[in-house]
Structure 1
Amino acid sequence: MKCDRESLLLYAVTDRRWLGADTLPGQVEEAIKGGATFIQLREKNLDEGRFLREAEEVQQMCRRYGVPFVINDNVGIAASIDADGVHVGQSDMEAGDVRDRLGPDKIIGVSAQTVEQALLAEERGADYLGVGAVFATGSKADAVEVDHDTLNHICRAVKIPVIAIGGIDKDNIDSLAGSGICGVAVISAIFGAGDIRGAARELRTAAEKMVEV
C-alpha cells in the first residue's frame, strides 16, 4: 500500500475506550466513510490472541476501502498478518530494525518530538513522522508536548511527510496551517464522537483547508 502525503491527510488512530456496543471494525468503517484516509490500530491492553483477531478484522475493512492500515508498536503482529506497516515510538523498536524485519515495501511511521529524532528516523528509513503532542491530550498519558515552532523546524528539516498528533480537533486544527504538515492524526476527535462519520467528515474538510494554506 502506498504512503504519500495525500493518504496521510486524516490519519485516524483507534481507541477502544469509546466502543460501547459498537465493534472496532464498525467504527473504523464509519471513520473511513466520513473521510479518514489512513488507519492505525492502537491497542495497549489486549492479549496477543485477541489483538491478532482484531487486527485481521480491521485490516479486512481497510482493504475493502483501499485505505492504508498500520499497527502501533507491535511489529510481530504487523508481520504475521502482512499489514501495510507499523508505527513506532521513541521507546519502541528502532526504524532501521523495523525495516529489516518487515522489508522494503512496508510503511514505517515514527513518533518524533525533536529535530534530532526526526532526522535520525528519516535516515533509518521512516516513511513519515508523527509529531506531537501539539496540544494537550488525554489519549496518551505520557505524551510530551511539542510547541509549534519545533513542529515547523521538523517539517523544514526532513524530506519525508510529517503529520501532527495530540489533542487536535475541529476547533484548533486551523492553527496548524502553514506549519508544513501534510495532515493530522486524531483519536478522540473521531472515535470519541457520538457521530463518528460526521466527525470524520468535518475534520476531513478542515484538514483539506488547513494544508492548502
Structure 2
Amino acid sequence: MVDKNIDYSLYLITNRYDSSDEQFLNIVFEACNSGVTLVQLREKDVTTKRYFDLAVAVKKITDKFKVPLIIDDRVDICLAVNAAGVHIGDNELPVKRVRQLIGKDKILGVSVKDVERAKESEAQGADYFGVGAIYPTKTKVITKHTTMATLKDIVYNVAIPVNAIGGIKEDNILSFKNTGISGVCMVSEIMQAENVRTKVTNCLKNVEQLM
C-alpha cells in the first residue's frame, strides 16, 4: 500500500540526454540525496525491457531515500517494479481505466491543460495534475504553452494537488507565487546541472517561498 500523503514541492522528471547509465543514475542519486521530493522516470523511445531495467535501477535509489517513484505513461512498468504510481498524458489510456488497472492505492498523475479536463480526470480518479508547459521547454515531449491564468483556474477548480511544469528554472520559480500550486516539476534544470546538490538546494529554498 502506498502512502498518498505525498510532498509534491520539488518534482524531478528524468531525461537521460547524452549521459551514460552510470552518469544518469548518479544524477538521480544526488538529486534524491539533496532533497527532491518526487521522481518520475520518463522514457519515450526505449524498449519495454530497457524501460524495466532503468526503472529497477532508479527504484533502488528512490527507495533508499524514501522518495516516491512515478513511472511516465507505462502502467505495465509501474506494476512490474511496484512503483508508487504512474503519470499519464492525453494520448494514454483513459484515466478511469488506468485507475482500475493500478488499483486504489497507487498514485495516478495526469497532464491537463484546461479546467474541463481537470474536473473530468479528478472525477475519474486522478491524484494530482501536471499543468504546462508554462515556459518554453526543449524536452522531447511535444507540448503547447499554458498561461498562468489557466494554471490558477485549474488550481481553483479542483481539490487535488496541481504542479506546474515546462521550462521551470531556479530563477523563475518565484513567478508562481500566489498561484496555489503544490510544487514544480523540473527536468533539464536538475538533470543538466553542473552541481546537482547545489541546484536542488537552491530550488528548494525558492519553492519553500511559494508554500
- TM-score, normalised to structure 1's length? 0.94
Alignment CA distance shift 1:193-1:143 (3 Å)? same
CA distance in 1, matches of 2:21, 2:72: 24
> Does the 8 Å CA contact 1:18/1:191 hold for their aligned counterparts?
no
Structure 2, unmatched stretches of 5+, are none
3-state SS of paired residue (1:66): coil
Name whichever of 13-22 and 60-69 sits farther off: 13-22
Q: Which residue of 1 aligns with 2:176?
A: 176
Q: Percent identity over the alignment?
A: 36
Q: CA deviation at 1:197?
A: 1.7
3-state SS of paired residue (1:111): strand
Deviations along 1:131-151, one digit per CA (max 9) or x if unpaired, are 000111111441111100000
**1:17 equivalent in alignment to 2:17:** yes
Deviations along 1:10-54, one digit per CA (max 9) or x if unpaired, are 000000005257433221111112210000000011111111111
Q: Which residue of 1 aligns with 2:166?
A: 166
- Written as runs of structure 1 = structure 2, the 5 A alignment for 1:1-213 is 1-4=2-5, 7-20=7-20, 22-211=22-211
3-state SS of paired residue (2:126): coil
Figure out how many residues of one structure are paired with residues of the other and give that number: 210
Deviations along 1:117-168, one digit per CA (max 9) or x if unpaired, are 1111101100000000011111144111110000000000000000000000
CA distance in 2, matches of 1:21, 1:106: 27
**Cα RMSD (Å):** 1.3
CA distance in 2, matches of 1:175, 1:4: 26
CA distance in 2, matches of 1:209, 1:140: 30
CA distance in 2, matches of 1:158, 1:60: 33
**Segments of 4+ in structure 1 off by > 3 A?**
20-23
CA distance in 1, matches of 2:98, 2:21: 35
3-state SS of paired residue (1:51): helix
3-state SS of paired residue (1:2): coil
CA distance in 2, matches of 1:33, 1:204: 13
CA distance in 2, matches of 1:135, 1:44: 21
CA distance in 1, matches of 2:49, 2:141: 25
> Does the 8 Å CA contact 1:4/1:161 hold for their aligned counterparts?
no
CA distance in 1, matches of 2:46, 2:13: 16
> Does the 8 Å CA contact 1:24/1:58 hold for their aligned counterparts?
no
> Does the 8 Å CA contact 1:3/1:68 hold for their aligned counterparts?
no
Structure 1, unmatched stretches of 5+, are none
Name whichever of 112-121 and 193-202 sits farther off: 193-202
